[in-house]
A and B are shown apart, each in its own frame.
Chain A
Amino acid sequence: MPSFLITGFLLLAGLSQAVAGPLVPRFDKPVGGYAPDEVLVRFRAGTAPAQRQQAAGVVGIRFVSLAPDVQRVRLKPGETVASAVVRLAADPAVAHVQPNYRYHAALAPDDSDYGQLWGLNNTGQTITGAVYGTANPGVAGRDIAAEAAWDIATDCRDAIVAVLDTGIDYTHPDLAANMWDGGAAYPNHGWDFVLGGDNDPRPVGGGEHHGTHVAGIIAAVGNNTRGATGVCWQARLMAVRVLNANGIGTTADIIEGIRFAVDRGAKVINMSLAGEGPYDTLYAEAIDYARQRDVLVVTAAGNAGVDVRVGSDNDSGTWIYPCAFPHENLICVGALDQAYDIASFSNFGTVDVDLGAPGTNVRSSLPGRVQVDDFSGWSPVPADGWTSTSCDLGNGPWSMLVNPTNWCPPPGYLPSNTYAANANDVIYRIFNLGNGVAAASLAYYAVMDVAGGDSFATAYDANGGNPFAGTVNFLQAPFAGSSLPNSSYFEHDLGNCLTATCAIGFRLQGNGDATTATGMSIYYLELKTLEPGRDNYGNYNGTSMASPYVAGIAALVRAFNPDYTYADTVEALIAGGDAAVGTFVGRSRTDRTANAEGALRYLAPPENLTVSVR
């Protein structure tokens, strides 16, 4: 029997590291005190029922038998556990008496992707589908200590969290149960302030994945066997859409969004957005409006890899806002990798950045699919124009479509081969954008060098086949130019191609004149869809991902401590944080990283102590 137990333990430990295992409650020390009106008694074996009844009857009014000789005794009104324990212990019929301690089961949630959520529980796991190459795997134990925090609280419903972002797919199966109930006035769990506004804050464009991902970090339904786990297992998420399809919002939209959230009871606002610019007075006043109404605002430091007080172009005086606002109710968060070093892209600042939190390879809910194309399955017409290849431009191999076929230069060099003077080369692929796809967008990078008179173009055909045959629906009209030595970013809406046979193609055309131009390479082609209500998840990097970890912790803390002010919450978040490690040291105001358990356990010293003689 003992050997069986040991075997079982080892197996479970192995399982929990490999994949999310079954739900295994673990009983720890009593952490919740004891029932105030009950004691547990074990009577001496062989004592008569009458003797037991007499002993227990002195302090108790109700008795439940738990095991042979063991009873739970409900105490008489006015009787305390302490005195009942003393009195019963003195009774000769009683072998043992104790308080009825409260235990919290330490639960690892059963969500299917929980094992990938290193920010909650870093076991040194390798994240699959990584989008950040450094520190994967990272260092076990460098996380927000979510499991220990969940011993104390999992429920954030008493602290509404507003997500000011690109909207939330509130029909996502891992979010729907955790959405704010806005009643008849706000039937879709929030408001959309973009372009005049309406009552439906769902994402609209194919690329609007951001807000849904952020929402899942805060509060993907926990322990529902499905997908991700939020910092909050239960929550009330308010969707406030202030960013459009390109992730851009205006001062007016954001101000209205903040006031909406504050006026409707949000206790925490997450704003995973950052912009370089001058001090925006009205924006600052909106955050102060939140402060006056005791609302905490959590924001991202930004992703330019610079000091928030220098600006992304070292343009003195061009600071990153809202991070650089001075408000006491504003917490600005930098991003950490899986080793808790600062992420390469994360902004920093010893005045404005308050905390670090996980921000690389963060898996969370998505309102659709993200498909990064590997350039297999593309059809070149003719066969010798474009080709699919792997090219190392000096930072590792990338899959690419290139024209000419020998486009690839040696690493560190610019391309030098030229395309055919009379090229009329197309390459296309058919994507399935039917079956419930509500919106889609296409994005890619191109290294481009096309001579004047020649052209590059992008087109689609909803019915499949070569999109440049017959009538052409251009996504990018034919144009010429050079991006060398850099690349250009392209993004197109595919709203007119939502079919099962959406063909997307590129064309390089020459006008017959000999050229020294070096042609095209297309890489990192990403197809994003909106598929509301479906169970999609994906990995993102960003301080946008770090901010919601802290917002989730703030909601846990405020929900658990209903008397806490925003200032109490900020104090708990910072004083309860961990000491920064690695390259995050010296990158923030506090030199601390977010810790959910620490924030929940933190206690401020008593205030206003007075001593007097009587």
Chain B
Amino acid sequence: MFLAALFLTACTGGGTPDTTAPAVASYSPAASAASVGVGTAIEVIFTEPVRADSVNAATFRVETGGVVLSGTYTTRDRQVRFTPLGGLATGSTYTVTLTTGIRDLAGNPLAGTVTWSFSTASLGKVELQWTPSRARGVNMAGGGYKVYYSTTPGFTIDANTLVVDVPWSGGTQTPNTVTLDLPPGNYYFRVVAYSALGPGGSRSEPTAQKAITIR
């Protein structure tokens, strides 16, 4: 690596050309990893910068059940990230293949094909986040948030609506984020702030719904 850098520097002055093939330094998710989050991107770090125009669905292939995923490739220096369109699917095994079509800036191909596989968790991990309430009643004993969710768009909240409580648990601020593990589906979320102030406590109006799909 040190040498390659020297050659690169030399190139600009018309010196010795770079003939060292790029190799894979590391990647994630790891080979054979299980329970990978469905929102995870696939990331590879090479031993030297690679040409962005050499990275595509043919040279950096992610497939499951014989179907190649489409998505976005982001190349930055030595790092290439593939973000699959719509995320990964739950409970699936993915194979990643990096071919010699990937080249460094001098045009040298990858030293050899690299292949590994990983599999995703059976549930999708959904993270919700919101701005902390400025109301003290939410950020003290008896206060908190309720995260309501449904697979029905435009749902209204009633006694049967699925809900996760995010209560105050000490300190000056109630947590303003929560993570849920959910099976595949389309989900809609609305959040309500609450406090213990007044008889029976008090609640805010719910937020507008936010949607997400877990495949």
Contacts and interface: CB of A to CB of B under 8 A. Distances in A.
Interface of A: 28-36, 80, 102, 148, 151-152, 560-565, 568, 597, 600-614
B37 A614 contact: yes
Interface stretch (B59-67, B73-81, B125-133): B125-133
Nearest to A568: B134
A613 B38 CA distance: 7
Interface string B77-107: 0000000000100000000000000000000
Interface stretch (B45-53, B108-116, B203-211): B203-211
B153 interface: no
A602 B138 CA distance: 11
A148 B127 CA distance: 38
B39 A613 contact: yes
Contact of A613 (B176, B191, B199, B214): B214
Contacts of B126: 611-614
A602 B202 contact: yes
A600 B126 CA distance: 33
A606 B197 contact: no
A601 B197 contact: yes
Interface string B145-184: 1000000000000000000000011100000100100000
Contact of A601 (B131, B170, B202): B202
Q: Please indicate which of the listed interface residues A151, A560, A564, A606 has the most CB atoms of chain B within 10 Å of its own CB.
A: A606
Contacts of B38: 613-614
Contacts of A607: 130-131, 207
Interface string B185-215: 0010101111111111111111110111010
Given A611-B189, A612-B126, A29 B200 contact: yes
Given A36-B170, A600-B197, A605 B206 contact: yes
A603 B204 CA distance: 5
Q: Please indicate which of the listed interface residues A30, A564, A602 has the most CB atoms of chain B within 10 Å of its own CB.
A: A602
Interface residues of B, number: 53
B27 to A, nearest CB: 19
B127 A611 contact: yes
B198 A151 contact: yes
B141 interface: yes
B124 interface: yes
Q: Please indicate which of the listed interface residues B39, B135, B204 has the most CB atoms of chain A within 10 Å of its own CB.
A: B135
Contacts of A35: 141
A233 B179 CA distance: 43
A566 to B, nearest CB: 12
Nearest to A29: B199
Contacts of B168: 33
A33 B202 contact: no
Contacts of A604: 133-135, 193, 204
Contacts of A601: 137, 195, 197-198, 202
Interface string B33-44: 000011110000
Contacts of A148: 198-199
Given A609-B210, A611-B189, A611-B212, A563 B202 contact: no
A605 B189 CA distance: 13
Contact of A563 (B124, B134, B169, B195): B134
Given A562-B136, A608-B131, A611-B210, A33 B141 contact: yes
15 contacts: A33-B140, A33-B142, A33-B196, A34-B142, A152-B197, A603-B135, A603-B204, A605-B193, A605-B204, A605-B206, A609-B128, A609-B207, A610-B210, A613-B87, A614-B40
Given A28-B199, A152-B197, A605-B206, A610 B134 contact: no
B143 interface: yes
B210 A31 contact: no
B182 to A, nearest CB: 9
Contacts of B125: 613-614
A339 to B, nearest CB: 25
Contacts of B207: 605-607, 609
Contacts of A102: 141
Q: Please indicate which of the listed interface residues A560, A604, A611 has the most CB atoms of chain B within 10 Å of its own CB.
A: A611
Contacts of A34: 141-142
A563 B131 CA distance: 13
Nearest to B181: A614
A29 B198 CA distance: 9
Given A32-B140, A565-B134, A612-B126, 4 more contacts: A29-B200, A148-B199, A601-B202, A612-B212
Contact of A611 (B128, B137, B170, B202): B128
A33 B143 contact: yes
Given A36-B141, A564-B135, A601-B202, A606 B130 contact: yes
Nearest to A33: B141
Contacts of A562: 136
B215 to A, nearest CB: 9
Given A564-B134, A565-B134, A611-B127, A597 B198 contact: yes
Contacts of A611: 126-128, 187, 189, 210-212
Given A563-B136, A614-B179, A606 B212 contact: no
Nearest to B134: A563
Contacts of A603: 133, 135, 137-138, 193-195, 202-204
Contacts of B200: 29
Contact of A31 (B130, B199, B208): B199
B193 A613 contact: no
CB-based closest 9 A-B pairs: A33-B141, A33-B142, A613-B39, A603-B204, A563-B134, A614-B125, A601-B202, A606-B130, A607-B131
Contact of A605 (B127, B141, B192, B201): B192
Contacts of B212: 611-613
Nearest to A565: B134
A30 B196 contact: yes
B167 to A, nearest CB: 9
A561 B187 CA distance: 34
A563 B207 CA distance: 20
A583 B131 CA distance: 40
A31 B201 CA distance: 7
B189 to A, nearest CB: 5
A39 to B, nearest CB: 14
Nearest to B195: A603
B141 A609 contact: no
A564 B131 CA distance: 14
B195 A614 contact: no
Nearest to B136: A561
Contacts of B192: 605-606
Nearest to A607: B131
A606 B189 contact: no
A194 B187 CA distance: 64
Contacts of B197: 31, 152, 600-601
Contacts of B203: 603
Nearest to A102: B141
B193 A606 contact: yes
Contacts of A30: 142, 196
Nearest to A610: B129
Nearest to B40: A614
Nearest to B169: A80
B4 to A, nearest CB: 36
A158 to B, nearest CB: 11
Nearest to A34: B141
Contacts of B170: 36
B210 A561 contact: no
